[in-house]
Structure 1
């Protein structure tokens, strides 16, 4: 249950932060939430990745439907030389997911790092 709450918190706060901050604010949110609610590094990566992946995928498809696939088709032709609106949405969601996943992984590793004891010489 803790994982699902962390997933929802990252998803909702990333959406809210994305309204006023740049695109990389999702990474900041994933980092902060993972630092506040610690879990294993693998779990932190997966939760952060999936939260932002799902968010960006839903937002990309929502915007794509609103403009009748015009922008996504043009971007997919320009970038990938293939006319596929869903593919450009999945690629952009994957990039956002990786960004947030690595931010969550970084927070998990920083949190798990134990301070070293000072030794007298």
Structure 2
């Protein structure tokens, strides 16, 4: 349940902050969300990966549909990509890596402040 909450928070906060901030707001949002909603490192990494990747893929697809692929076709001509859909997937992968690294960093930063229990000789 916390995984879904973290994923939704990363997606929605990043969507709204991307209107007023640069692309790296995804990294900041994923880190802050993973800091305040703790979990395992893999869980935080995966929620950042899916949240950032899905957000950037949907945003790239939305822009592509709104402008009738004019800009996307010009970018496809520059890069060795066969189709506009591959460009959208590549954009999603970039967002996924950025979100995953931000969430992993935020979760790891939280673990710095947690005191580990000392094991007793008798326990």
- Relative to the length of structure 1, the TM-score reads 0.89
Q: Could you tell me how far 1:39 is from its partner in structure 2? A: 0.7
Q: What is the number of residues matched between the two proteins?
A: 115
What whole-Å deviation, never above 9, does each CA across 1:39-87 have from its counterpart, x for those lacking one? 11111010011011111111111111111112112112212x2341111
Gaps of 5+ in 1: 117-121
Choose between structure 1 and 2: higher helix proportion.
1
Q: Which residues in structure 2 correspond to 1:72-87 (within 5 Å)?
A: 72-79=72-79, 81-87=80-86
Aligned counterparts, 1:1-121, within 5 A: 1-79=1-79, 81-113=80-112, 114=114
Q: Aligned partners of 1:37, 1:115: CA distance in 2, in Å?
A: 18
Structure 1 residue ranges (4+ consecutive) displaced by more than 3 angstroms after TM superposition: none
What SS is found at the alignment partner of 1:20? Answer: coil
| Alignment RMSD | 1.4
Q: CA deviation at 1:107?
A: 1.3
Q: Which runs of 5+ in 2 are unaligned?
A: 117-123
Looking at structure 1, the residues matched to 28 and 108 of structure 2 have their Cα atoms a distance apart, in angstroms, of 15
TM-score by length of 2: 0.87
- Tell me the CA shift for residue 115 of structure 1: 5.9
Shift of 1:37: 0.7
More deviation, 66-75/34-43: 66-75
CA distance in 1, matches of 2:74, 2:83: 9
